[in-house]
A and B are shown apart, each in its own frame.
Chain A
Amino acid sequence: MDVLVQLILNGILLGSMYAIISVGLTLIFGIVRVVNFAHGEFLMVGMYAVYLLGTHLGLNPYVSIVPVVILLFVLGALVQRFIIQPLLGADEHIQIFATVGLSTALVNLALLVFGADLYSLTVPSARQAISVGGNTMLVGQIVMFICAVVLVAGLHFFMQTTALGRAIRATAQNRNAALLMGVRVDRVYVFTFGLGAACVGLASALLIPLYPVTPTIGTYFVLTAFVVVVLGGMRSIYGAFAGAMIIGIVDSLSGYYIAPDLKEVVYFAIFILILIFKPTGLFGFGRGTE
């Protein structure tokens, strides 16, 4: 029983990491209607940036959040402006190839510059364990959970109350109608893509204390993030949050009860089943067959 509680707790903490990554992916898919296959590589870029800021300038990763979030916002906005924007009217497969190509280029650029070695930044404060009722958690994980909740709440507040948030929601509902109402849809897209990438910037700073960075770390996390996004219904940041928690718990439980090397098999199987049998996601927010 104690093991189960600890496992679920681990799952939720892991889920909060997936939540931050998936919320960004969901924003981009839900509003720009592009599946960003390079999302994981944004994470990788962010992690290298945090690492470099830490080793060269001695910045604590939690301080690096500010510059890295800005950096990733700019990166996302540039990608939207110069790669996605010209392809919005193109065939879907061209859009897929564009982000897949970007992903391949970024992974290999990192391999070229940094090599395949693991780089990690030691942050003792984040690796401190806290014991609550016999269950242990790392400070870094708790910070991640808080950030995930604050991020979703903040985005909710932003989308519901600000003029820009309203414009974004309108664009998501109906691009042409928004255009006719004077919304500058192109700018909304650039901003949204930047925002989605900025979420990954946040995730990368929070991840560094817990995971070493390698060129392929993005692929590892983003495949799971795709599972989360589909589970959550693809259009909803709340769905993504809930999906992330579910996948976190599945990950943690199947790793313990089935086999550590088969936990990915379990959630990829869930992913395939959801896509096939319930393409609207668990909560019915979206449509995979659309």
Chain B
Amino acid sequence: MTAKAISSAATSQKRSSFLTQLANPRVYCALLALSLILIVPAVIDSPFVVHVFVTICVFAALSTAWNIVGGYAGQLSLGHTVFYGIGGYTTALLIQHFGISPWLGMWAGAALSALVGIGIGYPCFRLRGPFFSLATIAFLEVVRLLSIHFTGVTGGAAGLIVPLNLGWAWMIFEDKFNYLYIAFGLLLLTLIVSWAIRNSRLGFYLTAVREREDAALAAGVNNTNVKLKAVMISAALTSLVGSFHAMYMTFLEPATMFSLATSIEIAMFSLIGGLGTVVGPLLGTVLVVPIAELARGWLGASANGLHGFVYGTVLVIITLTLPGGLVGTFGNRVGGWIDRLPGGGRRDDGREAPAQRPITGEPVKPILEAKNLVMKFGGLTATDNVSVTLLRGEILGIIGPNGAGKTTLFSQISGFLQPTSGTVGIVGPDGSMTSPTSADEFARLGVGRTFQIVQPFGKLTVLENIMVGAFMRHPKVDDARAAALRVARLVGLDDIKDVEARNLPIGGLKRLEVARTLATEPSILLLDEVMAGQSQSDTQKMVNLVRTIRDTGVTVIAIEHNMQAIMSLSDRIVVIDSGRVIAQGNPQEVVKDRRVIEAYLGEDFVDAQGI
């Protein structure tokens, strides 16, 4: 077959998958509903109605773009009009000084906004909750004040009038309906981008980072990176809309282009519709904006403040009664109704799971070497000169009394804690020893860990939780889903795969920890008390599972308090007490060791027994 034939086959396949998408009722219902935005004003044919619909499109697009950072990534920016203003001013100034068409200028604005987004996001993403919001407000205020101060560039508080050259090339029209075409196009663009992110690895990663930063790290997610990607995309989209809106209003002033009130409104529409959902921001805008615009249109200046009062009140009521927003609360039910339409229902395509990452290397050679690990927390030395070597293919048990430093050791050999002194070396795929510096790097090198205190992504289903792990080796959603299903079957979670993780009992959550870690296809598996909270029969299943995993070539280290389980499972045992390794060897030797008995039962007991 020639290359041309292959590529045409690929195109036709793509086209057919696009057509299958169209047959999905969720897709055709959404497109039908969206087309109303063009049909209604075309039928009513009033300049005011066209204006209301342009405003709806603009705010829905802004809110959809905001939702990528505010909803998916959970970073509540209240200064998003920074990007809107940068887009507007860049476009307007490029026309004014260089005669560049807004169709080009808007992309320059988008690029600049993405850069500014990184500049704001990089330092601020470490701030939590309200402090992130406050910092974004502060950035917005700084930009607004500077834009007033540098009158020579922006025209200052007096404002800037866009040069009025009519025609498509200059995005200025006498027939206002043309504006609606562009606004609608921008809305479609943001919705498609938002939908694509939601259904991609990036979307899953953003949710994972929002829910549990540590668990996301353990799944190999570079937290800062994914958040920066989100803010770049969101900033660029916001900026595009800002450019268009400036052309529509033909007048720019700092107070409206960098408005805090508008920033809040954008976020508000998302919350009302449903944070972190694709259609939520659009729905919120469609419900709330017409009220405000109609009040402004009918009551004029006497209603100054009415729309803001309505917005604020609705927002408070929503937080108190429907914190999930409309889509979060009713989305599943309505989605179910839509799925009953022709062509609906999720088809389980029974896709074959992709090949697992092969584990190569000679057995019984060192695969992980921890040398002289010292970890000090203030005055407390949690691990004191601990050295452990892990041999490929073994199951190493780590035991010791509570507070001995076992989990601290785990955190150091998985990159979650940087040792005060000492080194951790991992044998990479090429056989050489490397010392990664961050937890996500450890994960990508094949060190998978579970958490003693379980860290589920509560709002994701069991399968989606496992998928977050599977994405590390299988970037495509379908592959990751298939791989996650395979792991779910192996760990015994397949019958509850569609349950939201927060509804699981502790035993299930422990197994979910194992499943998510296994899905990253590690070569070294660190299990931190996974038997705790399991029933007798489940413990036996878990023991068998760990053996099965080892038989596929994975090397296992397990911290465990369940002595019976760990003794029968381990090839070798390391005993830690007060931050030191006090004994190691095969299980039979270790249980007879005087120091070990002392550590568990005390010196008196040892003396009384005459051991």
Q: Which residues of A contact B (CB under 8 A)?
A: 35, 37, 83, 86-87, 90-98, 100-112, 115-116, 215, 219, 223, 226-227, 230, 259, 261-262, 264-265, 268-269, 271-272, 275-276, 279, 288-290
Q: A261-B145, A265-B146 are in contact. Are A108 and B320 (CB under 8 A)?
A: no
Kindly list chain B residues whose C-beta atoms are within 8 Å of the C-beta of A288: 127-128, 131
Q: Mark B107-136, 1 if CB is under 8 A from A, else 0.
A: 000000000000000011011111101110
Kindly list chain B residues whose C-beta atoms are within 8 Å of the C-beta of A108: 305-309, 311-312
Tell me whether A289 and B128 are in contact (CB under 8 A): yes
Kindly list chain B residues whose C-beta atoms are within 8 Å of the C-beta of A92: 128-130
Within the complex, what minimum Cβ distance (angstroms) separates B509 from chain A? 20
Once the chains are docked, how many angstroms separate the CA of A259 from the CA of B134? 24
Q: A97-B319, A104-B311 are in contact. Are A268 and B127 (CB under 8 A)?
A: no
Closest 3 CB pairs of A and B: A105-B312, A111-B305, A101-B315
Within the complex, what minimum Cβ distance (angstroms) separates A215 from chain B? 7
Residue B54 CB within 8 A of the other chain: no
Tell me whether A268 and B142 are in contact (CB under 8 A): yes
Tell me whether B305 and A269 are in contact (CB under 8 A): no
Kindly list chain B residues whose C-beta atoms are within 8 Å of the C-beta of A109: 305, 309
Tell me whether A115 and B268 are in contact (CB under 8 A): no
Once the chains are docked, how many angstroms separate the CA of A207 from the CA of B176? 48
Within the complex, what minimum Cβ distance (angstroms) separates B58 from chain A? 19
Kindly list chain A residues whose C-beta atoms are within 8 Å of the C-beta of B320: 83, 86-87, 98
Kindly list chain B residues whose C-beta atoms are within 8 Å of the C-beta of A102: 312, 316
Tell me whether A94 and B323 are in contact (CB under 8 A): yes
Kindly list chain B residues whose C-beta atoms are within 8 Å of the C-beta of A269: 142
Kindly list chain B residues whose C-beta atoms are within 8 Å of the C-beta of A215: 305
Q: Mark B133-177, 1 if CB is under 8 A from A, else 0.
A: 111011101100110110000000000000000000000000000
Within the complex, what minimum Cβ distance (angstroms) separates B325 from chain A? 10
Q: A109-B309, A265-B145, A268-B138 are in contact. Are A83 and B304 (CB under 8 A)?
A: no
Kindly list chain A residues whose C-beta atoms are within 8 Å of the C-beta of B139: 268, 272
B134 is contacted by which of A90, A110, A275, A289 (Cβ under 8 Å)? A275
Residue B282 CB within 8 A of the other chain: no
Within the complex, what minimum Cβ distance (angstroms) separates B428 from chain A? 33
Q: Could you list 14 A-B pairs, sorted by A, with CB under 8 Å?
A: A35-B131, A105-B311, A106-B312, A108-B309, A112-B303, A264-B141, A264-B142, A268-B138, A268-B142, A268-B145, A271-B138, A275-B127, A276-B123, A276-B126
Kindly list chain A residues whose C-beta atoms are within 8 Å of the C-beta of B496: none
Once the chains are docked, how many angstroms separate the CA of A210 from the CA of B138? 26
Kindly list chain A residues whose C-beta atoms are within 8 Å of the C-beta of B133: 35, 96
Kindly list chain B residues whose C-beta atoms are within 8 Å of the C-beta of A86: 320
Kindly list chain A residues whose C-beta atoms are within 8 Å of the C-beta of B271: 93, 97
Kindly list chain A residues whose C-beta atoms are within 8 Å of the C-beta of B316: 83, 98, 101-102, 105
Main secondary structure of the interface of B (DSSP, over half): helix
Residue B487 CB within 8 A of the other chain: no
Kindly list chain B residues whose C-beta atoms are within 8 Å of the C-beta of A272: 123, 135, 138-139, 142
A90 is contacted by which of B74, B126, B305, B323 (Cβ under 8 Å)? B323
Tell me whether B142 and A223 are in contact (CB under 8 A): no
Tell me whether A93 and B312 are in contact (CB under 8 A): no
- Kindly report which residue of chain B lies nearest to residue A79, judged by CB atoms: B316
Tell me whether A112 and B305 are in contact (CB under 8 A): yes
Tell me whether B319 and A289 are in contact (CB under 8 A): no
Within the complex, what minimum Cβ distance (angstroms) separates B316 from chain A? 4
Other 8 A-B pairs with CB < 8 A, given A35-B133, A108-B312: A95-B130, A101-B318, A101-B319, A104-B309, A108-B309, A112-B309, A259-B149, A276-B124
Which among A101, A109, A112, A215 has the highest number of chain B CB atoms within 10 Å?
A101
| Interface size, chain B (Cβ < 8 Å) | 47
Kindly list chain B residues whose C-beta atoms are within 8 Å of the C-beta of A226: 134
Which among A104, A107, A269, A289 has the highest number of chain B CB atoms within 10 Å?
A104
Once the chains are docked, how many angstroms separate the CA of A268 from the CA of B134? 10
Tell me whether A104 and B315 are in contact (CB under 8 A): yes
Tell me whether B145 and A262 are in contact (CB under 8 A): yes
Tell me whether A223 and B137 are in contact (CB under 8 A): yes
Tell me whether A97 and B315 are in contact (CB under 8 A): yes
Kindly list chain B residues whose C-beta atoms are within 8 Å of the C-beta of A110: 305
Within the complex, what minimum Cβ distance (angstroms) separates B307 from chain A? 7
Q: A91-B323, A223-B137 are in contact. Are A97 and B268 (CB under 8 A)?
A: yes
Tell me whether B312 and A261 are in contact (CB under 8 A): no
Within the complex, what minimum Cβ distance (angstroms) separates B49 from chain A? 25
Residue B332 CB within 8 A of the other chain: no
Tell me whether A101 and B138 are in contact (CB under 8 A): no
- Kindly report which residue of chain B lies nearest to residue A111, judged by CB atoms: B305
Once the chains are docked, how many angstroms separate the CA of A46 from the CA of B303? 23
Tell me whether A219 and B323 are in contact (CB under 8 A): no
Once the chains are docked, how many angstroms separate the CA of A112 from the CA of B141? 25
Q: Mark B304-340, 1 if CB is under 8 A from A, else 0.
A: 1111110111111011100100000000000000000
Which among B126, B128, B306, B315 has the highest number of chain A CB atoms within 10 Å?
B315
Within the complex, what minimum Cβ distance (angstroms) separates B392 from chain A? 39
Once the chains are docked, how many angstroms separate the CA of A185 from the CA of B126? 30
Q: A98-B320, A103-B312 are in contact. Are A289 and B127 (CB under 8 A)?
A: yes
Tell me whether A289 and B261 are in contact (CB under 8 A): no
Q: A110-B305, A230-B131 are in contact. Are A101 and B141 (CB under 8 A)?
A: no
Kindly list chain B residues whose C-beta atoms are within 8 Å of the C-beta of A276: 123-124, 126-127, 135
Kindly list chain A residues whose C-beta atoms are within 8 Å of the C-beta of B76: 93, 96
Tell me whether B135 and A275 are in contact (CB under 8 A): yes
Once the chains are docked, how many angstroms separate the CA of A97 from the CA of B325? 12
Within the complex, what minimum Cβ distance (angstroms) separates B145 from chain A? 5
Kindly list chain B residues whose C-beta atoms are within 8 Å of the C-beta of A275: 124, 127, 131, 134-135, 138
A100 is contacted by which of B138, B264, B304 (Cβ under 8 Å)? B264
Residue B275 CB within 8 A of the other chain: yes
